[in-house]
Structure 1
């Protein structure tokens, strides 16, 4: 049923709907990253990062592997990076349009 497909898509976008998860995904675009480096880059409590990484892991969007005592996270595939790049392009256009409107408002005063 098509409704199930739309529900699955909505769940996927909800999973992405957290600033920390987006930041993690952006950091992982550079390649596999140990948890300690993610913590240093994001500057949040380890328990909060762990919680957000668990959501990403359960969704299958990231993978985790152990290298000795270090856990290293990576994007599960290149499509995630493509999605983040598309989102940046869309936001760039939207924000540019907002800046144009803001300039017009200021000029009208």
Structure 2
């Protein structure tokens, strides 16, 4: 995944409703009705944001009879967690306080 693709996914997750949906999903599959009731948001609002999350590949949908249940795309989320995890960065050059060499 390119840096641009990573930035787009992070931007998509930056919306408060989408972040709440992703947090609600966690590591389980949740049906739309259960989700909008638990989040105390109108069904149309939740569905609109689920559509964006699905189109971006962050969530997947599975039909169970008349219900549609969503779950996180685990591999994609793991990659985003890796991207956002702190890394050890070499210390700047001691001879220049600005860090330039």
TM-score by length of 2: 0.70
Is the 2:31–2:67 Cα contact (8 Å) retained in structure 1?
A: yes
Match of 1:69 among 66, 70, 77: 66
Q: 2-side partners of 1:46 and 1:39: how far apart?
A: 6
Task: Provide Cα deviations, 1:7-49, integer angstroms capped at 9, x if missing partner.
Answer: 3222121111111111111111140011111011111111111
2:42 matches 1:42: no
Match for residue 57 of structure 1? 54
Higher share in helix: 1
Provide Cα deviations, 1:63-85, integer angstroms capped at 9, x if missing partner.
0010000000001115527857x
2:6 pairs, out of 4, 9, 23, with: 9
The count of aligned residue pairs is: 84
Change (3 A) 1:63 1:10: same
Q: Distance in 2 between matches of 1:20 and 1:64?
A: 18
Q: 1:18 matched to which residue of 2?
A: 15
1:104 is matched with none
Structure 2 gaps of 5+ residues are 87-101
Q: 1:8 to 1:82 in 2, by over 3 A?
A: closer
Compute the RMSD of aligned alpha carbons: 2.4
5+ unaligned residues in a row in structure 1: which ranges? 91-109
Which stretches of structure 1, 4 residues or more, deviate above 4 A after TM superposition? Answer: 81-84
